[in-house]
Amino acid sequence: MKKALAISLVFLAVISASSFAQKKQLGPLLVFNNWSSDAEIGALNVIRNAFQAQGGTWNDITIAHNTGADIPLINMITGGNPPDVFINNNVKLRRDLIQRGMLADLTAYYKSLNLDKVLPQACKDVMMVDGRVVTAPIAIHIVGTIFWNTAVAKKAGVDPKSWKDLDAMFADFPKIRKAGVIPLAIGAQPWQLEYLLGSCIVYYSGNLYDSVFGLNPNKAAFDSREMRQALALFRRIQKESDPGSANRNWNDTTAMVIRGDALMQFHGDWMKGEFAGAKKQIGVDYDTMLPPGTKGVQVTIDAETFLKPSDDIKKNSEEAFFNIMLQKDITEKFSIIKGCTPVRLDATAGIDKHAKMVLATLAKPNFGHPVRNITMDDDFAGAYMSLTDNFWNTPDMSADEYIKQLQKKYDEILGK
């Protein structure tokens, strides 16, 4: 009897604590983001609705992609009218805001949620700056995936899933061309090319990738066998690209695959949204895979960053927002609408086979590596992109010359 009473008291205490947590007063949050497509807005509404259902008030400011969203964000922060929560992936900006005492420290709250085992390491790396949790991941995409048109593959008599490595892929190109289609569609804009070379580098070595794009680049590693292999692969793709690839938008390139003008595209898996918009079904009309034989993948993770709350109500609101984004059912619903991968390894209900593949990939130790816009110095990143574009468009430029120039840019920009 006493034991039953004790259990009942413990149960009531848990219920009471839970009710108290649920009754924490929430207030308004100003949320800054750069999402403007229907899918992005629809996905964000999953979080908005859940936050408002708990009693919070959501106000937002939206600056569309590729329109200089960082500039108004920084102006708001420095001008004394900052948002409470904002999407920005650059760790250097977060570090600067920490040094200014402007970012919330959510470390203790994160630990209280017991999420460590269900988040991919790539997400945890993005959440923390110098050991302090200051962000919550909201969406995962991986760069360097292959999406192909299954009808075109059948017509050409090829099976991409049979390729054991990229040599096997290239060996099928004459057969694909004989079927009257482009084997590999590439959008040769500078930003797409920098992602493409990054995929070539990580194909051979994740360590080399981190040495080029990480927080602490290693100049000596640029001059390596793996870098020469990556540049040779990059050059091989350039030679195989179609004449119309120059400066072609990524989504126009995806449309070529959807229409059947090309077999496949090698790019970020946001391509999935274009296939979905065209009412194409994964596993039926198209399929996806990682480059066969790759040693890793580039990972881009959208994350919400939290500024230091001004009072307890703001703190409650930010913690509620943080918690909502990391809930299993929320990230499942969010990812299905946006066409991304959930941020939890156990969030698999209703997601497609590609998202499941991404989660399985990110569960591998040291296989996912943050894309350069998360970690790389902006000036060095700009120099890398310009040099990579020049290499692509200068067929007689050697790997040795590329490496020499990249090391020179390191000295000019990052050298002590």
Q: What string of DSSP letters covers 305-369?
A: EEBPPSSHHHHHHHHHHHHHHT-HHHHHHHHHHHTSB-SSTT--TT--HHHHHHHHHHTSTT-EE
pLDDT higher at 79 or 402: 402
| φ, ψ for residue 278, nearest 5 deg | -90, 10
pLDDT at 16: 39
Q: Distance of CA 210 to CAs 137, 216, 235, 371, Å?
A: 21, 8, 21, 9
Q: How confident is the model at residue 66 (pLDDT cuts 50, 70, 90)?
A: low
Any bridge partners for residue 135, and if so which?
305
Q: How confident is the model at residue 98 (pLDDT cuts 50, 70, 90)?
A: very high
Residue 29 in this model has a pLDDT that exceeds 90: yes
- Average pLDDT of the residues in 40-49: 93
- Average pLDDT of the residues in 124-153: 94
Q: To the nearest whole number, what is the mean pLDDT of the chain?
A: 91
- Could you report the per-residue pLDDT of 208-261, keeping only the tens digit for each? 999 999 888 999 999 999 999 999 999 999 999 999 999 999 999 999 999 999
Question: Is residue 160 a contact partner of residue 265, using CB atoms and an 8 Å limit?
Answer: no
- One-letter amino acid at 109 equals Y
- Average pLDDT of the residues in 162-177: 97
Q: How confident is the model at residue 34 (pLDDT cuts 50, 70, 90)?
A: confident
Residue 409 in this model has a pLDDT that exceeds 80: yes
pLDDT at 1: 46
pLDDT at 416: 62
Residue 135 in this model has a pLDDT that exceeds 80: yes
Rg (the chain; Cα; Å): 23
Percent of the chain topping pLDDT 90:
77
Global pTM reads 0.86
Q: How confident is the model at residue 125 (pLDDT cuts 50, 70, 90)?
A: confident
Neighbouring C-alpha atoms within 13 Å toward the C-beta of 224: 16
Question: Is residue 165 a contact partner of residue 220, using CB atoms and an 8 Å limit?
Answer: no
pLDDT at 22: 53
- Could you report the per-residue pLDDT of 377-398, keeping only the tens digit for each? 889 999 999 999 999 999 999 9
Ordered structural domains, the chain, with CATH = 26-141+300-364 (3.40.190.10), 143-296+370-413 (3.40.190.10)
Q: How far apart are the first and last CA of the chain?
A: 73
- Average pLDDT of the residues in 56-85: 82
- Average pLDDT of the residues in 69-82: 83
pLDDT at 11: 44
Any bridge partners for residue 299, and if so which?
142, 370
